Structure 1
Amino acid sequence: MYLSRLTPDTTAHAFRRDHCDLHQMHRTIMSGFPDTTAGTPARTHHAVLWRLDPARTGFTLYVQSRTRPSWDHLDGYLSRPAEVRDLSPLLDALQPGQSFAFRLMGNPTKRLRLEDQGDPDRVSRRDNRYPILKPEAQITWLIKQGAKHGFAIPADTGDRPDVAVTSFPRLTGLQSGQRLNKLTVSPVRYDGHLIITDRDAFIEAVANGVGPAKSYGCGLLSLAPPHRN
């Protein structure tokens, strides 16, 4: 696995376009990877995840992938050369019981089932994904994700989950095809600590992402040494 650290030039027209349109940002990021001929979508094939973090001045764009990318074509897009790091040593050293500080831009959602209120014998259903808006419920969503993906959120000194949530403005974009589809993502950033409970499940979560909207800036789980009080 590889982690790219990119510093966009905020004055560049292409970045301003991408910053306003999730699908355009997705296209720019995928331009760093070779096309695929198999039926698997390119993002899935290369296991691409990304996150745009606000920085002190501008933004930092993190891109994680199974395939080593090439960013040479983004000279006018970036304000400094891209940095690419091999994550294999970190992943190989992961073990159950280890604690890390983490950051995750998540898209906490729930599915609501809509039922036709007409004839009860002809109930038409379709699943719909809706954003989870209450901070407590957003943390509950993360804890459930951890149970599936091999990590747990420990308690802090106040016996609360050791994680903070920060809501970001809703992100939108237009996906072209036979018709234009509007994309909408309600991102929430999680910053806190986690403990690995299942090594294999956790490595899969790091590699493949956590939660929905992985093509659109969500799901990338970043690790750092735990903070000491």
Structure 2
Amino acid sequence: MTTFTRLHLDPKGRQTRKLLGNPQAMHAAVLSCFPKEVGDKERILWRHDGKLRGSDEHAVYIVGPDSCDPSKIAEQTGSENVPQKASYDRLLDALANGQQWHFEVVLNPVAAKKTPGAPRGTRGKLTALVGEEAQLEWFSTKAKSCGFTPLETLIVERKTLRFSKLATNPKGRQVVIGTVRYRGTLQIDDAEMFKKSLVEGIGRGKAYGCGLLTLAKPKASTSA
């Protein structure tokens, strides 16, 4: 059984700011919500959304096995908000070809670029794509392999994340990831492939908050 969890965090706390400011630290906190053997074997997705409308609170979404215990993060951050946890399978079972949904997702759009003079067959170095046209084209292509077609897509946020690989050593080896937040409307073309993408995530950088696609019904305010 797969579950969807939503936590609201107040950034006033020191530990909360640490998690929100370092994807490696947040990744560790999310994994702490699951038994170790689950994190070693199954895909766990998460995403951080910034200030929610009308408040300073931030949201963290988690998709993973039913063994998720979101109170672990609440305990670390001292949050008094009760985490919301619901079955994700009900949504997955309701998906079908031809359906249209509003969506939001943070992704790490990259492309392999070969070094001039490199031997034939050598895979190029993965490089972050820049520019709206390239990022939208990449998303459209990626969508086809995930079972859906973007009907309308907006890029609403771009960030370059820089953080230490070791959350306990801020001055350690740095990780740099370029993220793009896409928002719009999609149509499901292959429901089974689409469900797999929702559970396993899209693209690279999943450990650092990328790849989790959330859905909302058109003309409705509730999201999945």
TM-score (norm 1): 0.84
For residue 133 of structure 2, the aligned residue among 131, 136, 149 is 136
- Structure number with greater Rg is 1
1:36 aligned onto 2:32: no
Q: Name the CA distance, whole Å, in 2 between partners of 1:130 and 1:51.
A: 22
Cα pair 1:115 1:123 within 8 Å, conserved: no
Q: Name the CA distance, whole Å, in 1 between partners of 2:26 and 2:203.
A: 19
Structure 1 runs (4+) deviating above 3 angstroms are 122-127
Residue of structure 1 in register with 2:75 after alignment = 75
Deviation at 1:123, TM superposition (A): 8.0
Contiguous gaps of at least 5 residues in structure 1: 155-161
| Cα RMSD, aligned residues only | 2.3
Residue of structure 2 in register with 1:106 after alignment = 107
Give per-residue Cα distances to partners, 1:173-199, cap 9 Å, x unaligned. 22249xx54211111111101111011
Q: Name the CA distance, whole Å, in 1 between partners of 2:124 and 2:65.
A: 31
Deviation at 1:95, TM superposition (A): 0.7
Q: Name the CA distance, whole Å, in 2 between partners of 1:28 and 1:202.
A: 28
Map residues 55-74 of structure 1 onto 2, 5 A cutoff. 55-56=52-53, 57-73=56-72, 74=74
1:91 aligned onto 2:83: no
1:170 aligned onto 2:169: no
Q: Name the CA distance, whole Å, in 2 between partners of 1:110 and 1:205.
A: 20
Residue of structure 1 in register with 2:42 after alignment = 46
For residue 220 of structure 1, the aligned residue among 209, 212, 215 is 212
1:190 aligned onto 2:178: no
Residue of structure 2 in register with 1:151 after alignment = 148
Cα pair 2:105 2:214 within 8 Å, conserved: yes
Aligned residues: 210
Residue of structure 2 in register with 1:208 after alignment = 200
Q: Name the CA distance, whole Å, in 2 between partners of 1:182 and 1:139.
A: 27
AA aligned to 1:173 is F
Give per-residue Cα distances to partners, 1:30-83, cap 9 Å, x unaligned. 11010118xxxx26x332111111113231111111343112233351240111
AA aligned to 1:49 is L
Deviation at 1:227, TM superposition (A): 4.0
Contiguous gaps of at least 5 residues in structure 2: none
Partner SS state of residue 141, structure 2: helix
Q: Name the CA distance, whole Å, in 2 between partners of 1:200 and 1:126.
A: 30
Deviation at 1:20, TM superposition (A): 2.2
Deviation at 1:170, TM superposition (A): 1.2
TM-score (norm 2): 0.85
